[in-house]
């Protein structure tokens, strides 16, 4: 595969030394410009977010939960929550419903 040719964009030219010298930090922007970027930070933060962890599981366990499709990590979380007696985490159901877990599918539940 040959390397891509260098392409220039006339609407976004490469910065010159003068451009770098004149650049200002974002906090120095006028307030009306800051307002445009105010909420550009992704989804809202949760009060009690889940914590990322690393855990070693047997291949059979991982395969079992992954076989249910997307949401397999949430199903593992639900299973662990039920095992310690605190129930599953309430969450929104996507349009068209959610894919049932393999256990629920075998038991005829959704």
Give me the pLDDT at residue 27, please: 86
Domain-wise residue ranges, the chain: 59-106
Q: Give per-residue pLDDT as tens, 25-53.
A: 988 988 888 888 776 667 788 888 889 99
Comparing 87 with 106, the larger pLDDT belongs to: 87
End-to-end, the C-alpha distance of the chain in Å comes to 49
pLDDT band at 57 (very low <50, low <70, confident <90, very high): very high
Cβ-based neighbours of 79, under 8 Å, separated by 6 or more: none
By the 8 A CB rule, do 75 and 101 touch?
yes
Give pTM, 2 decimals.
Answer: 0.46
Cβ-based neighbours of 89, under 8 Å, separated by 6 or more: 74, 77, 78, 81
Other residues' Cβ atoms within 10 Å of the Cβ of residue 107: 9
Q: Give per-residue pLDDT as tens, 64-101.
A: 999 999 999 999 999 999 999 997 776 654 445 554 45
């Amino acid at each position: 595969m040959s390397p891509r040719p260098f392409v220039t964009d006339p609407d976004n030219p490469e910065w010159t030394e003068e451009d770098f010298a004149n650049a200002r930090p974002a906090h120095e922007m006028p307030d009306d410009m800051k307002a445009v970027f105010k909420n550009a930070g992704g989804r809202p933060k949760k009060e009690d977010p889940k914590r990322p962890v690393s855990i070693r599981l047997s291949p059979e366990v991982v395969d079992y939960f992954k076989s249910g499709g997307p949401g397999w990590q949430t199903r593992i979380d639900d299973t662990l929550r039920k095992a310690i007696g605190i129930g599953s985490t309430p969450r929104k159901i996507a349009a068209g419903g959610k894919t049932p877990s393999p256990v629920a599918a075998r038991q005829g539940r959704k």
